[in-house]
Structure 1
Amino acid sequence: MCRWLAYKGNPVQLEAVLFRAQHSLIDQSLHSRLGHTTTNGDGFGVGWYAPASDTPFRYRCVQPAWSDRNLREAARAIRSPLFVAHIRAATDTPAQETNCHPFRYGRWLFMHNGLIREYPKVRRDLMLAIDPALFASVEGSTDSEVMFFLALTFGLQVEPVQAIERMVAVIEATGRRHGIEHPLNMTVCATDGEQIVAVRYSSETESRSLFHSNSFRHLRELYPDDPRIKVAGDDAFLVLSEPLVDLPGAWQEIPESAALVARGSSVEHRAFTPALP
């Protein structure tokens, strides 16, 4: 399907995560170890926040991530305290720039791995459920962008986890009306530059892989000579589709039907229970 990651901590070069890690996101675009597809070459995108800007920046491209020389140059130049990145393997919708993640609205960025099953059957109903005031901002044709705008419709900017629960419930109810037994499989990430919200959920309880980093302070004690851990800082945090490095004690799998909210130095785990608005 896809692979994605989100980072917050001390400002670091995007290159450190996207290219230099043992199992970097660029390596995963060719050799994913835990993904539904080994190769993810139907476009990519990065989004990052800078202190002087109210709106996050994006760079999206329909090329495979491994062959884009401009991405390598940009990743060397850009340092950010919070950024996201996504590599895409297309399902029911075409490989085009407007279908590349992350999607953006105001300060919010959104990424998805998975699919709405039999999306062409339910697309019209789901798009009509988007708030008319938001509809003009939908640019592409992918199910992931519709998920984002449904979450915005149901209050993502106020109560992010509850809004995603409502979004999921509407998709499942719509799919089942159309005779689809397991309408949705997803890991999603949403961020406004202050918090990272990640959810692992699927209608059939067989979700795509999702992990988060353990305490960087603890990792620094375990690996005091590792410069990557030092530069990120004690409060750094990563949530990602699959681990970047093989360090014992570095990663923890996020369980099924679970949400995670990382803000400042705190990381909150909670059960994820879809509920219709």
Structure 2
Amino acid sequence: MCRWAAYLGPELFLEDIVTAPCHSLIAQSHHALEAKTATNGDGFGIAWYGERPEPGLYRDILPAWSDANLKSLCRQIRSGLFLAHVRAATDGATSRANCHPFVSGRWSFMHNGQIGGFDRMRRRLEARLSDTAYDEVQGTTDSELFFMLMLEEGLESDPERACARAAGAVVAAAEAAGVPVHLRLTAAFSDGERLYAVRFATDNHAPTLYMTEMRDGGRSIVSEPYDRDGAEWHAVPPSSFVTLTRTSASIRPFAPSMQAARLAKVG
């Protein structure tokens, strides 16, 4: 399972979360404490927002702990909104195209979890994509395809509903393929203005998710706390959808959209 961290608030250096803390994301890449695997060495990535609508993106297949360029960039880049991810591959080869975050226009997305039986339902899920969305897919992961499904289901206008409909499509595809429904989804995504996150699983093992409000008024949401002494972390309950703005935070119940599942079965 992967580890990730996201931030929204006043500008700060990326190193303040990614490399500098005692249990930073880089530290978690070789010694995670709350993941099924302690090592997350199958690549990394950062998407950050600056003066343009679309995010900057830096990804590579090296383990995060061994990339000197990553440390240098994090020391120099300031951003008020960014997503950072270290990967432990559960699906898809170790390649740059399979490293998170994934970006489409102004949207960025990263994921910890998996779609069980993905190989047996992939074609059904891809069939829900328009030609434009299908042509955007660069890698082979279940995570990127889920992101494309969200875009197809109206991410631009209603992020929460789009996520629920994409999850419903996965449930329907599993049932149609005759495989057990097994979706673990702890993800973060952004349009450059707001930061969204979801924690959900079809079993009782939703990957962890935490939030904190920082001294500067910014908010950070992570799969695992990067500072266990200087911040007060709050666990986000399973089956939750989080919306963060620069002035507010909300947590709402989340479940797959069964309407989307019914439509998938009809299709």
Q: Same fold (TM over 0.5)?
A: yes
Look up the match of 1:59: 58
Amino acid aligned to 2:249 = V
Return the offset for 1:182.
Answer: 2.9
Return the offset for 1:274.
Answer: 1.1
Deviations 1:48-72 (A, max 9, x none): 0002x12110000011000001101
Return the offset for 1:248.
Answer: 7.3
Deviations 1:203-241 (A, max 9, x none): 11311111111x43xxxxxxxxxxxx3xxx12x000000
Amino acid aligned to 1:21 = P
Look up the match of 2:190: 191
User: Residue 136 of structure 2: SS of its match in structure 1?
Assistant: coil
Q: Structure 2 stretches of 5 or more lacking a match?
A: 261-267
Are 2:151 and 1:169 aligned? no
Work out which of the residue numbers 217, 221, 242 in structure 2 matches 1:260: 242
Native 8 Å contact 1:205 1:257 kept in 2:
no
Native 8 Å contact 1:30 1:40 kept in 2:
yes
Amino acid aligned to 2:7 = Y
C-alpha separation in 1, matches of 2:35 and 2:184: 13
Q: How does 1:23-38 map to 2 (within 5 A)?
A: 23-38=23-38
Look up the match of 2:8: 8
Bigger drift between 158-167 and 133-142 goes to 133-142
User: Residue 136 of structure 1: SS of its match in structure 2?
Assistant: helix
Look up the match of 2:224: 242
Amino acid aligned to 1:100 = C
Are 2:68 and 1:69 aligned? yes
Identity percentage of aligned residues: 39
Deviations 1:3-35 (A, max 9, x none): 011101111111111111111000000000001
Runs of 4+ in 1 over 3 A off after TM superposition: none
C-alpha separation in 2, matches of 1:129 and 1:5: 30
C-alpha separation in 1, matches of 2:130 and 2:24: 37
Native 8 Å contact 1:176 1:183 kept in 2:
no
Return the offset for 1:249.
Answer: 6.4
C-alpha separation in 1, matches of 2:221 and 2:231: 15
C-alpha separation in 1, matches of 2:142 and 2:196: 19
Native 8 Å contact 2:198 2:239 kept in 1:
yes
Q: Structure 1 stretches of 5 or more lacking a match?
A: 217-228
Return the offset for 1:183.
Answer: 2.3
Return the offset for 1:144.
Answer: 0.3
Native 8 Å contact 1:43 1:87 kept in 2:
yes
Distance 1:249 1:79, change over 3 A: closer
User: Residue 16 of structure 2: SS of its match in structure 1?
Assistant: helix
Distance 1:44 1:249, change over 3 A: closer
Amino acid aligned to 2:15 = E
Deviations 1:45-103 (A, max 9, x none): 0010002x121100000110000011011111100010110000111210000000000
- The number of equivalent residue pairs is 259
Distance 1:136 1:48, change over 3 A: same
Native 8 Å contact 1:151 1:163 kept in 2:
yes
Q: How does 1:96-111 map to 2 (within 5 A)?
A: 96-111=95-110
Amino acid aligned to 1:9 = G
Deviations 1:172-197 (A, max 9, x none): 11112222223211101110110011
Return the offset for 1:247.
Answer: 3.0
Deviations 1:114-154 (A, max 9, x none): 11112111111111111222111111111100000000000
